[in-house]
Amino acid sequence: MKKTIILLLTLTSIFAYLPVRAQELIQGGTVSGNFQIDGQYYNEDKALGITADTMAGKRYGVNAFGNLLYTNGKFTAGLRFETYLPPMTGYSTSLEGSNIANWFADYKTDFIQLTVGNFYEQFGSGMILRSYEEWSLGYDNSLKGIRVKLNPFKGVALKGLVGYQRSYWTPYEDGNRGIVRGADAEFYINEMIPSLSESRTKVILGGSFVSKYEKMTTKRLVRGDSIYEYKLPRNIASFAGRLNVIRGGWNFMSEYAYKMNNPSAANNFIYKEGQALYSTLSWSTKGIGVMLGAKRVDNMSYKSRMNETESILDINFLPPLAKQHQYSFATMYPFSTQPNGEMAYQAQIDFKIPKGNLGGKYGTQVSVNYSQVNNIKKEQIEEGIPVDSTGTLGYSSPFFSFGDELYYSDFSLFITRKFSKSTKANVGYVYQQYNKDVLTGHNGEYPNVLASIFIADITVRLNDKNALRLENQWLFTKQDKGNWVGGTLEYTFAPKWFMSVADEYNYGNDDSDQQLHYYAISAGYTDGPTRIAVNYGRQREGLLCVGGVCRFVPAANGITITITSSF
């Protein structure tokens, strides 16, 4: 109750200075929101290693959230309620509980926007600051504090913020995590200079500053009979500059980020600065599009708690340069971002073969993509001092040099063709090289996985409301769990119903007891904004990754129900 009273008094004092009367906030406003409920009931499955003992009485899991938003003119307020009772398998047990996860109040005019409470923000591509929420990962690093956005002149956008990050349900107290402060400026040159307003070339410049303050002063390390004590910086500053140039079908974007020395658990407490460069160049015209990308990351883990080792409290986000696949076998070996060092590049071309003998009656879409990620070259800073030694500068690294160790590569070719008004097919081939040791946090335990994946996906519209989709996938590899074959048959009764049956069979596993079928039966119903989906079957273990951020999904057997709606 005391915290609630303090919160209400704080909001009242802040918005008393804004030109909005209390009566106007109550009358004429609108209320909107959305919610999602995910529930699982688990069965024993000895083949998957799931027994009564391993389940330890946990027969079900529930993850749910609800967002409530009130809007009245220039004023907006909202809150988010979450419950994990208990969290579904694969989610952190630290999420268990129910409470108001986030709340905010916001006032916005053409000149200023003021937000208090929890908010999400991103500077540039996010390399020094990005706060966001990803429900499928159980990830939320929202900032709680205050944010101001200003538009003082035409073509100028300024941001400033201060706050601390969400860490599951743990309240902020006694400096148990750092305080994040930041500022960002973006300049739309063509809007600022009237003579350039009609120019075909558009130029956008941006710059960012972020600083983390943490009550951390020393670290003690015991080696043999010696005790070393290291002084740790309390303030860790980072800077970034970006450029975006657009002309016709061309679009060039580049951002460089620099982080001051930031000894932490993620980098073995070395005192080396961090750097990152992320650039993309794209061109498109009728019937064709090309994208090239390159990225270098060097010691860019940036968390608001130095000792943190979990995938939480990340201040920044390092955009991945790897194709985000949709088909399940192509996502079996996903890339996870390596903040301690990676060199990556990507190229993609999408084009349409016109109607004719080769393109068919409706034309044919072709998409080709290749991406590769290596380590960065690390050299000793001094003879006799191993690379990444605690309490040292860590290493030196030539900026444009690729390391010799391959982390990940992905080649894909997809061809989509419409054969008639009712029949459409998508076929694809994917070849991946996957450094399982590095990308899953192991050391010398696994060989690199080389996987070839074939995909065939055919949809036939039976009439205006009914459609049948057949999907087949094959994965061939001599490593890991061997070969797989999978299939899905889906029937849609538009616009309300769908149902499907699917199976993924690991017939190539060297362990005959693990040559298992992962079957699933699904059905769903949609009514306006409300959707209900039910799935029964097995879930294979693996990594679920979104944007290079991953969580481990354990094997499971049971029924899953998902309900989503908005109002």
504-547 pLDDT, tens digit each? 999 999 999 999 999 999 999 999 999 999 999 999 999 889 88
CA 495 to chain centre: 30
Which parts of 473-518 fold into alpha helices (H)? none
pTM above 0.95, yes or no: no
Residue at 355 is within a domain: no
Confidence check: pLDDT of 3 > 60: no
567/565 Cα distance (integer angstroms): 7
Residue at 262 is within a domain: yes
How many other CB atoms sit within 10 Å of the CB of residue 443? 7
Banded pLDDT at 9 (limits 50, 70, 90):
very low
59/231 Cα distance (integer angstroms): 48
- Two structure tokens written together for 380: 């000793």
Size of the chain, expressed as the number of residues it contains: 567
Query: CA Rg, the chain, in Å?
Result: 26
Strands (E), 334-401: 342-353, 364-376
Residue at 139 is within a domain: yes
Strands (E), 109-234: 112-119, 133-134, 139-140, 143-150, 156-165, 179-188, 201-213, 218-223, 226-231
124/187 Cα distance (integer angstroms): 12
DSSP one-letter code for 462 = -
522/488 Cα distance (integer angstroms): 10
Residue at 359 is within a domain: no
> Which among 219, 76, 264, 101 is positioned nearest to 169, based on CA atoms?
101
Q: Which domain holds residue 250?
A: 120-280+299-319
pLDDT of the residue at 229: 84
Tell me the HSE value of 15 on the side-chain side, using a 13 A CA sphere: 25
Q: Which residue, chain included where needed, has tokens 């605690």?
A: 390
Banded pLDDT at 12 (limits 50, 70, 90):
very low
pLDDT of the residue at 443: 81
> Which among 232, 231, 347 is positioned nearest to 289, based on CA atoms?
347
Residue at 198 is within a domain: yes
pLDDT of the residue at 407: 96
| Domain count across the chain | 1
Q: Which residue, chain included where needed, has tokens 């299939």?
A: 487
| Burial (0-12, 13-18, 19+ Cβ within 10 Å), 22 | exposed
Residue at 125 is within a domain: yes
Residue at 49 is within a domain: no
Q: Which residue, chain included where needed, has tokens 């903040």?
A: 339
Residue 267 three-state SS:
helix
53/502 Cα distance (integer angstroms): 29
Chain mean pLDDT for the chain = 92
pLDDT tens-digit profile of 50-92?
Answer: 998 888 888 999 999 999 999 999 999 999 999 999 999 999 9
- Two structure tokens written together for 290: 């090309």
Please tell me the least confidently modeled range out of 11-15, 227-231, 235-239: 11-15
> Which among 407, 342, 349, 345 is positioned nearest to 371, based on CA atoms?
345
- What are the beta bridge partners of residue 351? 288, 366
- What are the beta bridge partners of residue 418? 424
Residue at 147 is within a domain: yes
